[in-house]
Amino acid sequence: MAATFTDATFDTDVIKSDKLTVVDFWAEWCGPCKALGPIIEQLSTEYAGKVNVGKLDVDSNPDVSTKYGIRSIPTILFVKGGQVVDKVVGAVPKGQLQSTIEKHI
């Protein structure tokens, strides 16, 4: 199951993680975000133990969203070693997300 990231946990769960972390910035009212949700859940299962995969609700967590300049959702950030190493904007196919993950693990 995909993790839930928040403003309070982002530093510990994402920035200080020793693994690649995939963060899906989403909102309940966003149709494309809902379409991407099941793909994020699948990736969290497929990469369990190798990659951290989770979601951050932009409405409930404005600090992290603002810090990383999230203007469109869904936006997926790929964070490794405390740095954003890649970014995907929009509801994209699962294969594109897998390719990006594989490039960075």
d(CA 55, CA 27): 10
Which candidate in 20, 30, 36, 56 is catalytic? 30
Sort strands 83-89 and 52-57 into parallel, antiparallel or unpaired: unpaired
30 is catalytic: yes
Query: Within 1-105, where are the H helices?
Result: 10, 31-46, 62-67, 94-104
Element (H, E) at 84: strand 83-89
Which candidate in 33, 36, 64, 101 is catalytic? 33
Residue 27 zone, left/alpha/beta (φ > 0; ψ -120 to 50; rest): beta
48 is catalytic: no
Q: Which residues are identified as catalytic?
A: 30, 33
